Amino acid sequence: MSTADSSSFAMSSATQIAAQIRSGQMTASAVLENHLAAITARESEIHAFNLVTIDQARAQAAAVDAMVAAGQDPGPLAGVPVAIKDNMCTRGVPTTCSSRMLEGWRPPYDATVVTKLAAAGAVMIGKTNLDEFAMGSSTENSAFGPTRNPRDTSRVPGGSSGGSAAAVAAGFAPISLGSDTGGSIRQPAALCGVVGVKPTYGMVSRLGLVAFASSLDQIGPFANDVADAALVMDVIAGHDPGDSTSIPMEHPSLTAAIAQGVEGLRIGRITDLPGGADPEVEARLEEAFAALAAAGAQIVDVQVPALTYGLTAYYLIAPAEASSNLARYDGVRYGMRVPASDTNSMYMATRHEGFGPEVKRRIMLGTYALSAGYFDAYYGKALKVRRLIADDFDRAYQQVDVMLTPTAPSVAFALGAKTDDPLAMYLCDTYTIPSNLAGHPAMSVPFGTGADDLPVGVQIMAATLNEPVMFRVAAALEAAAGSNGNGRGGQ
């Protein structure tokens, strides 16, 4: 029966799919059609996508099948459908950032990550919904309507990469890409019950990622399991001469790292972590520490006092950078233009009509924080607090290899619950923001459930370029969650 087929394909991992396509046991075209069937069945209630790229995907899958038939290897992601957050440029394919400002815009180039995925044999299945210009924590700020959480469609999927998280959780694609400026991969991963990774700043090229806050933005994967996330990281990581902040080095294979276990690793428990998480979320975190201790790791208490000020530093720095980055949307070279009699009026009218309320709010906050008379009091101070946070982290990482926190303070909340109170929405990012400020890697792994049986994510944070150890810990947590019945079994 076709639905049984599509669910069995949808439950397959990217690792398995690629292996079976490379060995000729399955075709990329059949895998694609089954995922398209899953989308047809449920996309109308989820709205994970701004665009499903059916024709292009079929052509890419056929090309993969032709390579296999000709005895060539299409690459490590052979025939694996991948969903791309709609703030990454795709040549000739609409890229909207879920904003009226860019509706209908077709970029003249591909983001480096898109090129790399295609070169590894992946098949792009569509562009996913997000909070407008990646500003938000619920995907409710999209100009094209919200995405709903596949685990409970009355709830948000988190954000801003909510479409990419929902696409994986709903079985529309085994893997997807998101971008993370203050938690926009990890928080929706936690709320949708999937794995989400924010790599070290500079590990993955930002060329072709539409800029939100350039010193914080980083692209990373969503996946159903840690091995798939490692597989995607191994494909997309690496130096790109086109991104001046890209780190010029070779990165070790994370796929090779994950089997090494956690024996002897030092896991940090932050004793002065800002409170406010739900009791169930706190309980899962404690179980995660216990599981790692049982697997041979050592739990070490550490203090990171400056974390308390992370939210303030972030919500001054990110809007300041955004106000500068979004100055380019002026109706001149691309995107929307509202005609007017002179250029300045055209700028004002275009930006008034093109941007939604949250984007305007952040541009206003950032412009204020950067303006004469307020710069030292806000932006200047925030940059100094950013240094304190990085220094506190450095001290902590002399004592531990990784630190664990909740990813989000609560399970997925109802649509509309926080839309009237921007500050309440910002507080969703308390635990994820510090890694962006420091430029460190962090990831969320599903670990049991909280209120209303909804997924809880545990966040693993590590020092710059310590992804191999972070992934070892992630694999151990995943194994423990599975054996406790805390994993995604029963989905």
* Positions in 72-111 near other proteins (CB under 8 A): 105-109
337 sits near other proteins (criterion: CB under 8 A): yes
β-partners of residue 175 are 82, 223
Is 133 one of the binding residues for other proteins (CB under 8 A)? no
Residues taking part in catalysis: 85, 160, 184
Q: Is residue 186 a contact residue for other proteins (CB under 8 A)? A: no
User: Least distance to other proteins from the beta carbon of 231, Å?
Assistant: 25
Contact call for residue 371 and other proteins (CB under 8 A) = yes
What is the per-residue binding string for other proteins in 294-333, x denoting contact by CB under 8 A?
--------------xx-xxx-xx------x---x--xxxx
115 binds other proteins (CB under 8 A): no
Stretch that binds other proteins, among 135-143, 204-212, 219-227, 377-385 (CB under 8 A): 377-385
CB 166 within 8 A of CB 50: no
CB neighbourhood size of 171 (10 A): 22
Residue nearer to other proteins on the CB measure, 9 or 355: 355
Rounded to whole angstroms, the Cα distance separating 186 from 196 reads 5
Pick between residue 303 and residue 312 the one whose CB is nearest to other proteins. 312
Residue 226 dihedral angles phi and psi, to the nearest 5°: -65, -40
d(CA 277, CA 374): 33
Query: Looking at 30, 383, 417, 479, which residue binds other proteins (CB under 8 A)?
Result: 383
Which listed residue (9, 133, 201, 397) binds other proteins by CB under 8 A? 201
Q: How far apart are CA 135 and CA 313, in angstroms?
A: 16
Does residue number 367 form part of the binding site for other proteins (CB under 8 A)?
A: yes
Site for other proteins in 423-442 (CB under 8 A): 423, 426, 437-440
Q: Work out how close the CB of 117 gets to other proteins at its nearest, in angstroms, rounded to a whole number.
A: 21
List the end-to-end C-alpha distance of the chain, in Å, as a whole number: 19
Q: Which x/- pattern over 442-481 shows residues binding other proteins (rule: CB under 8 A)?
A: ----------------------x-----------------
Whose tokens are 């939100």? That residue is 212
Strand order in the sheet with 266-270: 49-52, 123-128, 81-85, 175-180, 218-223, 195-198, 442-449, 455-462, 402-406, 266-270, 298-302
Closest CA relative to residue 319, chosen from 422, 219, 414 = 422
Which residue shows structure tokens 């990774």?
A: 197
Instruction: Supply the minimum distance, in Å, between the C-beta of residue 198 and other proteins.
Output: 12
Q: How far is CA 5 from the centre of its chain?
A: 29
